[in-house]
Structure 1
């Protein structure tokens, strides 16, 4: 992979490789493990994504924060021994291409399918993720069916956003959407969402843009090729059970995830592709 002036490949203290971006528009870090962006800071602005202060960046363990790639299933598989949220977020991705011009930097990674356990995923396919970096961040996850038979999958770009106070944070733009929470529903979202308890809402028929109102400013979050999204905060008791997560960190984060889940799952015919896109920025 040919690098550009603003892009270098570096190693964490634990030996995980990451792509480091230091450009006129933003600073960013993208780990090859999980194909996962863990830092995005627009120039002269605040960080736009969150990572736990307890994250240890260990090989083979999903990173708590940033934008984990949940693929080719979201949540727990019906086989309880299979990894939650699929295998892409703990697999080692390959740096593919870097393009830089005055306007943006585009970095693409691909998941080498030869390393995928065919017990989990017997289908012939290709998976790539692209990061388009300006003063906004766009992530594009593309699945291509290389086989002669259709297959279906679910997925999410599990974005962790920062807030200085979850109790003074609200999410706007989900009004009218249907949601299921803790296996109950569907319910209809009637107003903006505030946070006073554990929240795990899976929305369908959701508008393509939401706004997270935090004490530090408004974060715009939009999606393409997706009518479903997930809103999550673990709150007090769940936080104590999470790995790589401090007990009080629920106060400083919220996840709003672009998804293809429930009736919005993707079915790909032979030779077809699908690209799930999320775009985030400070308002």
Structure 2
């Protein structure tokens, strides 16, 4: 059946270690952030910088950081980039094994300190479904009596072996904003990389692929018409924290999102679930 065990990192962060007949994985309580997922007999599907030292209070540079309840910079420049969920402690609420599939649900307890950023009465949960694929589902429920709007992303870092050989496909018909300019219409179905890329896509189809030297990673989204495609390239890599100067060669982010015109607005008692699913193409 498999095992699910709570452990502690050498730097103090608690995490859950998962080992099933289909995969191995690791999820930290801080940020409910999964940093390892590897189907049995296949290569890992998540990337983490070797420069990250897993310090409490800092989001891990890799895996799947949860950006919530805003993506990017807030209108208030003193507030944390990408929200506070990725550095907050979440609670492991349930663990279920269904045949060889593990399901782990975490909930975010919003502290009084964080209510300064988010005074709304909401419930936030994330469900990880671990099989030979990884599914992450982030659910928001409005428990208050007023409408609530938010932006969010599942900021997934993928291992791609060599950025020069990467082809990302599934972008036909979409539009994007890059470096604050646009929107531009996507030219063709594929994206290749020879410079810094920081595109916020909208009107994007539900399925994309990353064609790497190690195989093709298939990525799908639900309740999302937006996604972020990011590689910092050479200059920005030297300015990023917890990131080696040559890390840009081996990673790319393709993030399921609800941003820009795709932001989430919840009426009282309404729920919304953002889902991403990733796996190696058979």
TM-score range (shorter-chain normalised) is over 0.9
In the TM superposition, residue 103 of structure 1 has moved relative to its aligned partner by: 3.6
1:255 is aligned to: 253
- SS in structure 2 at match of 1:65: coil
- SS in structure 1 at match of 2:137: strand
1:232 is aligned to: 230
Q: Which runs of 5+ in 1 are unaligned?
A: none
TM-score (norm. length: structure 1)? 0.97
**2:146 counterpart of 1:136:** no
Could you say if the C-alpha distance between residues 50 and 272 of structure 1 is closer, same or farther in structure 2, counting changes exceeding 3 Å?
same
1:162 is aligned to: 159
2:29 is aligned to: 32
2:107 is aligned to: 110
CA distance in 2, matches of 1:82, 1:112: 19
1:207 is aligned to: 205
1:90 aligned residue (79, 84, 87): 87
- SS in structure 2 at match of 1:114: coil
**2:135 counterpart of 1:145:** no
- RMSD (Å) for aligned C-alpha atoms: 0.9
Answer yes or no: is the 8 Å Cα contact 2:224–2:256 preserved in 1: yes
After the TM superposition, which parts of structure 1 deviate over 4 Å for at least 4 consecutive aligned residues? none
CA distance in 2, matches of 1:254, 1:123: 33
Task: Give runs of aligned pairs for residues 24-63 of structure 1, distance below 5 A.
Answer: 24-63=21-60
2:171 is aligned to: 174
2:265 is aligned to: 267
2:96 is aligned to: 99
CA distance in 2, matches of 1:253, 1:272: 36
CA distance in 2, matches of 1:189, 1:157: 22
CA distance in 2, matches of 1:11, 1:47: 22
**2:172 counterpart of 1:193:** no
CA distance in 2, matches of 1:163, 1:266: 31
Moved more, 112-121 or 18-27: 112-121
**2:220 counterpart of 1:222:** yes
TM-score (norm. length: structure 2)? 0.98
CA distance in 2, matches of 1:200, 1:58: 26
Q: Deviations over 1:61-82 (max 9, x none)?
A: 1110000000000000011100
- SS in structure 2 at match of 1:237: helix
In the TM superposition, residue 101 of structure 1 has moved relative to its aligned partner by: 2.2
CA distance in 2, matches of 1:181, 1:200: 6
In the TM superposition, residue 113 of structure 1 has moved relative to its aligned partner by: 2.0
**2:122 counterpart of 1:121:** no
Aligned length: 280
- SS in structure 2 at match of 1:167: helix
Q: Which runs of 5+ in 2 are unaligned?
A: none
CA distance in 2, matches of 1:87, 1:26: 29
2:181 is aligned to: 184
